[in-house]
Each structure stands twice: as structure tokens, then as C-alpha cells.
Structure 1
């Protein structure tokens, strides 16, 4: 398995510094939060996109994905949502990223009929966008989040699309909050899985981000389910520092986090096949 981290944990940091953190702490890739607050977003010019792509190409760090905020199950007209997804796909293609993250975003407190309608809406929009994604060599991943936080709920939408250009991003926090055991989530997402976001928190009531292994999320059970199936994809640490001012800075946690994942993977019997890098000292 390969390891990345999200720039949500180092919001506003310039791309050279992001690449430096990944290199120093032994991470293979970075998930780029696509927001106007960040160094990377859909408003970048062609020259700026080329500069970001070149910076990564000159390193041994990959762009895992572009984490957008399009809400494909939200009520309203399809046009603005599809425009947003199309912009994210173009950005990912220009940066050489294989994935674009989108949210469900249908809203809270929906009844069965409203939920079904939102899933039909999401599937329709994703079906259109899937053709664009396929033409660009990018895959759209619906994150287990908000209105469809369980693996079963997200899989219902993606199964309706039934297109290789669309899959699911497994956020382990949200499936846990939904009450799913990791084996259940994995079974639901297995045909659709793009990559996995790992994280840790103290409790369901206190979701302030913690260093990996310092909280209660069943990361070992998640990795066991993946390893038992022979899955060999990406694990991305999404440390939500941007939303929690009091959380510890991510840079100091990156090394211990990588080591914790390596220990967990050793316990699954896949430690010698993970490809996790040792930390590397940067030149003075």
C-alpha cells in the first residue's frame, strides 16, 4: 500500500513545502484540497497548473487526487453541479492526478422517498460526468460523507451509475460514525473502491483530529479487511486541521503516523509488501 496525506492538514502551505514534507516523512503522494484558500484550485491559470505539475514531476511525490467540494446529490439544477465537477476533472487532468473527490451533500433528515430521489439525482449527474472523466483518464470518487456516510449508502449511488469512471472514497471516520463495522464497509465498497482516507479522533462526540493511533477509530480492522482481500492501493491521511484550530500541527505528526500505519500493516502480514518509505533527511 502507498501512503499520502491531504493538504487539509497544512492549509495554505505552498506546494514546494508540501512536497518537502512528503519527502522528509516518507509519503508517496499528496491529496490536494481544491479550494481558493489553497495553492491549488480550479481558478489556476494554465501556466500555474503547469508549474504545480512540474514541481511534482521533479520530485518522487505523486498527486494522488484533487479533493473538490461538488455535492452531486444536492437538490437543484444539474448544470452548476456538473460545471463544478467538470472544472475539477480538468484540474486533475492538468496536474496528472488520477482521482477527483466529490461529496453526496443531499442534506440531513431526509425521508426514504427524498433519499431515493437524491440518489437518482447523484447517479444521473455522475453518469454524465463519468464520460468526461473517462476521456481525461481521471476517476470520480464519491466520498462516504454527510448524507451518505455509510459504505452501503454510497455504494447504492455508484451501483446505479455502473461506470468505471466512478467509484467510492472510503473515509473511515464517517463509516464508523454511521455504525458500520470495517468488514461491512469493505464488503459494500469492494467493487467500487478508489482509495481510503485514514484518520483518528477521540470519540464520536469529539472529532478533533488526533495523531494516528491516538484515538478510537478501528484503523487496524480497516487495514485487515483491505489486506485480507489483497488490496494494494492508497491510504491517505486526512488530518482536518483546517476545521480545528486547536489541533496539533500536522508536520510533527507525519513521521509517527507513517510508523503507526507500518506497524498495523505488519500485523496484517503485509508489512514487507507495503512499499512504505523510510523517512528521509532533507538537504541542509
Structure 2
């Protein structure tokens, strides 16, 4: 297994300096955000020259770029114009991934609030159609799309993620396994989630947290992150929270997983919870490396 840093964890850094930090703390790669308005990210309209310069820097640092993470989500919108705009943005990111040698792109499984209903299945149908189309584009560019287990989407749980991925039924569309998201939304624990979605789990996010109190009811008004007043958890350095990462990684290894573990260090959203990545991401990576060494 290889360990990547996620640029969510480096809001104080330029993208180039984040890559240098990842190299310094011994990481193998970088998962890079694609979004306007965030310092440590690629812009949604990035020039080929900029991408090639970044690719050269990564190679000079002996870092891989395994995954790009855009924030398009409305692939299930009933408004065709909105869907087409999101798809257009994703198509650009697919070309960026090819230039950078990134094999994966993180996807949201649509935008679907906790109180929304889809009784006639139209939103699900739009999502499946959109992602099947994007899967075909991705395939032509040698890229795979991975649907994250994520709140306020149509892939919140492992069961939903599996059902959607098989409905899409495309060889270039799989799942991004995120146990922290599953746990704090009250969905499957790892003993259930890993066997359920393993055949489609191609990429893994690693983070940690503790609950603030006895009320574990999850709520978020936004697809990307809960607002501070909505939060029932506190982000932690990996190894200092409640997730049993030794057991999770052992189960993944036992089933044959040898891919990427991406440290989704949430300093962008919750800087009050965790220290600078030079400290907290470094400690998280050391914790993961020890687990990997000790796997049976």
C-alpha cells in the first residue's frame, strides 16, 4: 500500500509547496483538489503548460499523483442544463488527470440532501446516465472514476454505493472507500462495509475523529462539509480517534487490496481541530507506515 497526502490538509501552502512537504514527510504521492478559490488546488480551467509544470515537479520529487478531487456534484439534477455543465467540468478534469498521470478522479454520487426524496427514481436515473457517460470518457483517457462514500449524495452508505456502481455498470466507475464518512453518518462499520463493496473499492481515504458527545445524529447543509454548528465530531490526527485503522487495513490486505491510502487531513475545513500538516499529517503517515509494516 502507498500513502498519499491530500491537499485538503494544506490550506496554508501553495500547491507546489504542498508537494515538497509531502516529499519531506515521506509520502508517496499527492491527491490534488481541483476547485476555484482554494489556494492549494488546481483551478477548474488550468492550462496544459501549468499541468505539465506540476507533473515535472512531481517527477523531480519522485511523487505520484494518484487522484484528482473536483467538487462537481449535480450529476443527478433534473435540470438537464445543470447536469451538462457539471459533466463539462468533469470532462476537463479527466483530461487533466491524463496529463498528470492520475489514475483516479474522486466523484460525488450526485447532490442529495438528507431530507430529499426520489420516490420516482428520476434523480437516480439521471445520476446513472451521467456517470455512465463520464465513465466512457474516462475510459478513453485511461482514468477511473471513484464514487466516494459521502454524505448529502446518493452514495452515503456502502450499500447505496454498491447499488449505484452496479447500476452504472461501467468498468471505469468504482468506489472510493471512506470509513470515517460511513461511521459518522451512522452507516456501516468496516466489518460490513469492506466485504460489501470491496470488489468495487479502488481507492481509500484515511482520516480520524471522535464524537463530541452522546448525540451522534449526523446533519449537514452542504455536500462538502458540515458547518461548525452542525458538527457532532472533532477531527483528529490518524491514530488518535475512534477508527480501528490496524483492523481496517488488515481486512483490506486480507482481501487483496494493495492500492492507495490517501490522508484526507481535514485542515481546510476544521483548522481548529488539528495542527499544520507538517506535524499532523506527518504523524498520521508514520502511524500508517507502522500499521503497514505490522500487517500479517
Specify if TM > 0.5.
Answer: yes
Q: Distance in 2 between matches of 1:136 and 1:212?
A: 34
Q: What is the CA distance between 1:110 and its match in structure 2?
A: 3.0
Tell me, in whole angstroms, the C-alpha distance in 2 between the residues paired with 1:103 and 1:181.
21
1:193 matched to 2:201? The reply is: yes
Partner of 2:16: 16
1:267 to partner: Cα distance: 4.2
Secondary structure of the residue aligned to 1:180 is: coil
Tell me which residue corresponds to 1:57. 59
Tell me, yes or no, if structure 1 residue 250 matches structure 2 residue 281: no
Equivalent residue number for residue 274 of structure 1: none
Q: Is 1:73 the counterpart of 2:76 in the alignment?
A: yes
Normalising by structure 1, what TM-score? 0.88
| Equivalent residues of 1:41, 1:91 under 8 A apart | no
How many corresponding residue pairs? 268
Distance 1:193 1:89 in 2: 19
Query: Partners in 2 of 1:250 and 1:15 — Cα distance?
Result: 13
Q: Counterpart in 1 of 2:157? A: 150
Q: 1:111 to 1:8 in 2, by over 3 A?
A: same
Instruction: Tell me how far 1:80 sits from its aligned partner.
Output: 1.4
The alignment partner of 1:196 has SS state of: strand
Which residue of 2 is the match for residue 280 of structure 1? none
Is the partner of 1:164 in helix, strand or coil?
coil
Aligned match of 1:181 in 178, 182, 189?
A: 189
Rounded to whole Å, the distance in 2 between the matches of 1:86 and 1:207 is 35
How far apart are 1:198 and its partner, in Å? 0.6
Q: Which residue is 2:262 aligned to?
A: 236
Q: TM-score, normalised by structure 2?
A: 0.85
Q: Which runs of 5+ in 1 are unaligned?
A: 270-284
For CA contacts below 8 A with separation 6 or more, give which structure has more relative contact order: 1
Cα offsets for 1:208-263 (capped at 9, x unmatched) = 32111111123233212201112101000101111113132121122321221123
Aligned pairs for 1:1-284 (under 5 A) are 1-11=1-11, 13-36=13-36, 37=38, 38-71=40-73, 72-77=75-80, 78-104=83-109, 105-111=111-117, 113=119, 116-146=121-151, 147=153, 148-177=155-184, 178-203=186-211, 204=216, 206-247=232-273, 248-269=275-296
Give the conservation status (yes or no) of the 8 Å contact 2:8–2:267.
Answer: yes
Q: Secondary structure at the match of 2:268?
A: helix
